[in-house]
Amino acid sequence: MRRVFPLVVATVSVGAVAVGAAGCSSGGSGGARLSAADAGAAAAASPFYVDPGTQAAAWVKAHPKDARAARIRASIVARPGAKWFGNWSGDITRAVSGYVGAARSQGKTPVLVAYNITDRDCGGASRGGAGSPAAYRTWISKFAAAIGNRPAIVVIEPDAVAQLDCLPKNAQAGRIALLKYATQQFKGKATRTRAYLDGGNAHWVAAATMAGRLDAAGVKNVRGFSVNVSNFFTTAESAAYAKKVDTALSSKYHYARGFVIDTSRNGHGGTPGKWCNPAGAKLGAAPRAGGSGSDALLWVKVPGESDGPCGTAPKVQAGTFDPGLAMRLINGR
């Protein structure tokens, strides 16, 4: 039987992603018209931190007279989402600690993404990452230590487990070892962090195979796994897949884990193989604790940031905010 993992969020008293940061190639509608007041009230009610330094926020601030600005502000900028950290983040200790501290000062839980694995994205649109395994170990250790005993949610290395097959056989064991090291760092150094090792999406790796990979990569050390990061499949599809993965973990490895779902762009669902700025995508259910058997529904991908120069944004590089993409998601076109 699958255990229930209630999400614990910050209850305490009283940071922009660089271009290329969140291009990762891999419910209810969030695209309804919201007034600024409604958006502010929703943000205040959410347990999650709203990053004031997103590219979307910067665009809205720089274009106050643009007819699109009010809707982008209400539908995207005012919603809590994840902040991605990688080799563009500079001093990782300072970057992570500052962001977590800003969230703590508001009594909110920050959602962070560690996205710096060696050979990231297998040479795809979000290629890059740490220059060596040793460099990655140092980086991820500092990342976890910078959070310390403060509450946080961390998604660990989107696509890194699912993309294992793209690596040469002799490199796959090294990837797994790095991910396991990462989980150990969060277990030992970030004691109040709910960390989730990324588990791909519902139409990529078979659930039993994914369970085996997650186990090898150390998912037992952390809260659980994430699904649908930067993808478009419905919350129902994603939850069903996650539950199959969890069942496989329980039956073969004798432990269960929680999961989170990225709902940022899944309002209209997705089509297998069409992951790069597809037409017709729409904002999904707003971030919340719980939902569909998950620990949380999160906006891990920042809506409006490109998946790469493809689809409806053929000239927009991965991780770059584009108001046209944002409006497509708001309108579901």
Instruction: Name the strand (E) or helix (H) holding 113.
Output: strand 111-114
| CATH number belonging to domain 36-331 | 3.20.20.40
Binding site, residues?
84, 204, 231, 275, 301, 305
Both tokens assigned to 277: 């700025």
pLDDT greater at residue 285 or residue 36: 285
Model pTM score: 0.89
pLDDT of residue 44: 66
Q: In what order do the strands lie in the sheet with 152-156?
A: 82-85, 111-114, 152-156, 193-198, 224-227, 258-262, 296-298, 288-289
pLDDT at 14: 25
Dist CA 271 CA 267 (whole Å): 13
Tokens 């980086």, residue?
139
Contacts of 91 (CB under 8 A, 6+ apart): none
Q: What is the CB neighbour count within 10 angstroms for residue 296?
A: 25
**CA 220 remoteness from chain centre:** 19
Distances (CA, A) of 85 to 60, 73, 94, 117, 164: 22, 23, 11, 11, 21
Is the Cα dihedral 211, 213, 218, 224 positive or negative?
A: negative
In terms of Cβ atoms closer than 10 Å to its own Cβ (0-12, 13-18, 19+), residue 64 is exposed
Q: What is the mean pLDDT of residues 108-117?
A: 98
* Average of per-residue pLDDT across 89-107: 98
Is residue 122 within 8 A of residue 25, CB to CB? The reply is no
Residue 88's pLDDT is 95
Q: What is the DSSP letter of 11?
A: -
Nearest CA among 328, 120, 124 for reference residue 232: 328
Would you state the structure tokens that stand for residue 61, as one six-digit string? 């601030």
Please tell me the least confidently modeled range out of 4-13, 87-96, 135-144, 274-283: 4-13
**Which residues, including other chains, have CB under 8 Å from residue 210's CB and lie 6 or more apart?**
161, 162, 199, 200, 245, 248
Show the CA angle centred on residue 326, arms to residues 238 and 225, nearest 5°: 25
Higher pLDDT, 9 or 150: 150
Q: Return the active site residues.
A: 159, 307
Residue 205 CA to its chain's centroid (Å): 18
> Are 76 and 299 a contacting pair, CB within 8 Å?
no
Q: Are 178 and 137 in contact (CB under 8 A)?
A: yes
Binding-site residues from annotation for substrate: 84, 204, 231, 275, 301, 305
Amino acid of residue 236: A
